[in-house]
A = this chain, B = another copy of it.
Amino acid sequence: MLSQMRPRGFNAITILQRSLTKTATAYASPFAVNHRRINALDGHSNCRFCSCAKPAAFQLKPNDKIFHQITQIDEEVAKLLALKAKLQDEPERANKNITLKTPKGTRDYGPEAMALRMDILERVKTIFKKHGAETIDTPVFELKEVLTGKYGEDSKLIYDLKDQGGEILALRYDLTVPFARFVGMGNVFNIRRYHIAKVYRRDNPAMTRGRYREFYQCDFDIAGTYDPMLPDAECVKVVAEILTELDIGEFVVKLNHRKLLDGMFEACGVPADKFRTICSSVDKLDKTPWEEVRKEMMDEKGLEGEIADRIGEYVRMNGGAELVDKLAEDEKLKNIKSAVEGIEDMRLLLQYCEIFGLKDKIVFDLSLARGLDYYTGVIYEAVLKAEPLPVENGKKGKDKEEEVSVGSVAGGGRYDNLVGMFNPKRKQVPCVGVSIGVERIFSILEAKSQQKIRTTEIEVYVASAHKGLHLKRMEVLNKLWDAGVKAEHPYKQNPKLLAQLQYCEENQIPFAVVLGDGELSRGVVKLREISTRKEDEVPLESLAEEIRKRLTV
């Protein structure tokens, strides 16, 4: 059936395909040899043919055979796509209806949602600034290669841009990698920066729980060589201040250390090449019971049951300073350098956090692992203790059992090698930082917020008491604007007074100026306080001044 439909010529492509594949195999080996030889040469301009960033001296030459193959593939692909576009063109031209929606996993934010969001972001920003952070901005897309190899399995969630005949680009996946790229590029060795911006992930959206494909992150990072744990402790303080300020309920910041995790794996007998993958398994412990994680370690990752059980003993531990003491005495960990270093870091961190008044907000938790590959030291994760479940179908979960700790609202850690991945000459720029998952916070606070939020800041409404006053109204309005008063008027020549006053009440505007011929002839206007409906006559001359005075009371 399908072969009957196939237009003549498709078999030809299959033949070409086979032929090309053979050719490619034939050329692959000498090319690779050639490549290694030239690899030692210098020069850094970009490869014109792919995103491989080969040094200039190593670019394919027009007389390389492989060059022609790639060029010809490009040409054939372009032709096929042009043909496809032509085939599709007919329906497109004939039907002009447009799907009226935002892309999957995204939403618009209307004035009320924005008023809430802007308020929250402003409060987050204030705390970042209290800790002396500067801000930077990076493009929303990066060269694809900048993002490649940074996110492990999650790389598949990266949004790629179409190749429109230029660079290969992708939307940023987080703010950390662009920050490291920024530090690697510039002459920056010390910076404490915040960055509030949107990031993009082609994940399965769960919009009622605040999980979108386009979402804000609020990042605070400290780059530079400093004494141990001083910047690390400040990051915990920043997270705790923000979550306290936003009043989203009880939370705890879990703390752990990648070096300690690695040391612990070593002590348990995990082979070194399995540290990262076993770390990923441990990371699932916040949502998955130990028995399942243990099974995954054995069945999927090939660990012996005995080794998994040893890990199981450690990852069940959590506590405070006493846990540090216990681990420091642990016979198996004592002789492992990275474990000892991790434990000493944790001792300092807990001490510093206590000075910062955070003793009852933190827990040293050996089951915290964090998914990303680039962490090298302390890792953090803030979780809400009792999550106010989103209102769905009018029901609100109130059972004790439902109040489980599921809500991760911030996370981060130390990543000392990321800058070096971009610029080998900049190996020594250690970094530590946290990211606030503010979308989750938005949706919690959006569900909580009961009263109507004002979406404008209008202070005065300029109204007409009767017909024929719109020019005079604009004159008064203009004076108020020029004096810096936030003012509006009806965009009607002859609006009804009642409608105007109702508008003021609905929009919670504090004052209305009411113009009338009678008052104007005496050089005065009525100034009405909307909430009390009290009216006074005020000289037109001193109107702006009088309003200012009343607003500051």
Determine whether the beta carbon of A145 is less than 8 Å from that of B99.
yes
Cβ-defined contact, A134 with B455, below 8 A: yes
Does A70 lie within 8 Å of B50, measured CB to CB? no
Contacts of A141 in B (CB 8 A): 103, 106, 214
- Of chain B, the residue at the smallest CB distance from A81 is B77
**Quick one: which of A92-111 are within 8 Å of B by CB?**
92, 94-95, 97-104, 106-111
- Give chain B residues whose Cβ lies under 8 Å from the Cβ of A193: 111
The reply to whether A24 and B86 contact each other, CB–CB distance below 8 Å, is yes
Q: How far is the CA of A185 from the CA of B109 in the complex (A)?
A: 12
- A370→B91 CA distance, assembly (Å): 31
A110, B136: Cβ atoms under 8 Å? yes
Which of A13-21, A317-325, A532-540 lies at the interface with chain B?
Answer: A13-21
- Name the residue on B nearest A181 (C-beta): B100
The answer to whether A50 and B102 touch (CB under 8 A), given A162-B160, A352-B474, A492-B230, is: no
**Contact assessment for B492 and A102 in the assembled complex, using a CB-CB cutoff below 8 Å:** no
- Rounded to whole angstroms, the CA-CA distance of A51 and B114 in the bound complex is 30
Q: How far is the CA of A107 from the CA of B171 in the complex (A)?
A: 15
Residues in B with CB closer than 8 Å to A137 are: 108-109, 114, 117
User: Which of these binds chain B: A296-304, A306-314, A395-403, A482-490?
Assistant: A482-490
Name the segment of A125-133, A374-382, A544-552 touching the other chain. Answer: A125-133
Given A7-B19, A222-B491, A474-B356, A88:B70 Cβ within 8 A:
yes
Q: What's the least CB distance linking A58 to chain B, in Å?
A: 7
Q: Which of A12, A51, A84, A182 has the most CB of B within 10 A?
A: A84
Known A6-B72, A49-B88, A53-B99; judge A185-B456 contact (CB<8 A).
Answer: no
| A47 on interface, CB distance cutoff 8 Å | yes
Task: Select A132's contact among B191, B458, B493, beta carbons within 8 Å.
Answer: B458
**Closest residue of chain B to A112, judged by CB?**
B134
Pair B95/A111 contact, Cβ less than 8 Å: no
**Residue in chain B with minimal CB distance to A488:** B132
Alpha-carbon separation in the docked complex, A50 to B70 (Å): 27
The CA of A6 and the CA of B19, in the complex, are separated in Å by: 11
* A90: contacting residue among B28, B68, B79, B103, CB under 8 A: B28
Closest to A110 in B: B136
The reply to whether A478 and B357 form a contact with Cβ atoms under 8 Å apart is yes
Cβ–Cβ < 8 Å partners of A258 in chain B: none
Alpha-carbon gap, A437 to B114, bound state (A) = 23
Interface string of A447-484 (1 = CB under 8 A from B): 00000000111100000000000110011001001101
- Please pick, from B15, B23, B51, the residue contacting A92 in the complex, using a CB distance under 8 A: B51
Number of interface residues of A (CB under 8 A): 154
A359 in contact (CB, < 8 A):
no
Binary per-residue interface labels of chain A (191-205) against chain B in the complex, 1 for a CB within 8 Å, 0 otherwise: 101000010101000
Binding-face segment, A29-37, A332-340, A409-417:
A29-37
The residue from B31, B87, B131, B421 contacting A24, defined by CB atoms under 8 A apart: B87
A134→B161 contact, CB < 8 A: no
A130 near B484 with CB under 8 A, answer: yes
Q: What distance in Å separates the Cβ of A380 from its nearest Cβ neighbour in chain B?
A: 17
Does A54 belong to the interface (CB within 8 Å)? yes
- A133 to chain B: closest CB distance in Å? 7
Give complex CA distance A200, B161 in Å. 12
| A163 proximal to B (CB < 8 A) | yes
Query: What chain B residues lie within 8 Å of A53 (beta carbons)?
Result: 95, 97-99
Is A164 on the interface with B (CB-CB < 8 A)? yes
Shortest distance in angstroms between A505's beta carbon and chain B's nearest beta carbon? Answer: 16
- Hey, what's the 0/1 contact readout for A354-398 against B, CB within 8 Å counting as 1? 011100000000000000000000000000000000000000000
Out of B69, B161, B171, B493, which one reaches A160, CB within 8 Å?
A: B161
Return chain B residues, CB-CB under 8 Å to A69. 7, 87
Distance A86 CA – B74 CA, assembled complex (angstroms): 14
Measured CB to CB, the closest approach of chain B to A350, in angstroms, equals 13
Interchain CB contact (< 8 A) of A79 among B17, B129, B136, B166: B17
Which residues 207-242 of A have a CB within 8 angstroms of B? 214, 222, 224, 226-227, 230-231, 233-234, 237, 241
Flag if A423 contacts B90 (CB, 8 Å): no
Asked if A52 lies at the interface with its beta carbon under 8 angstroms from chain B, I say yes
CA gap between A250 and B163 in the complex, in Å: 42
Q: Which A residues from 34 to 86 make CB contacts under 8 A with B?
A: 35-36, 39, 44, 46-47, 49-55, 58, 60, 65-66, 68-70, 72-74, 76-77, 79-81, 83-84, 86
By Cβ-Cβ distance, the 3 closest A-B pairs, closest first, are: A9-B16, A226-B491, A9-B19
A–B complex contacts, Cβ < 8 Å, 24 sampled: A7-B23, A7-B69, A17-B76, A24-B86, A27-B87, A32-B94, A39-B94, A44-B97, A44-B99, A52-B91, A52-B95, A53-B95, A53-B99, A103-B143, A106-B139, A110-B136, A110-B186, A111-B134, A130-B486, A164-B202, A227-B470, A230-B491, A233-B474, A351-B471
Starting from the known contacts A28-B87, A54-B91, A70-B88, 5 additional A-B residue pairs (CB-CB under 8 Å) come to A12-B12, A27-B87, A98-B421, A104-B167, A129-B486
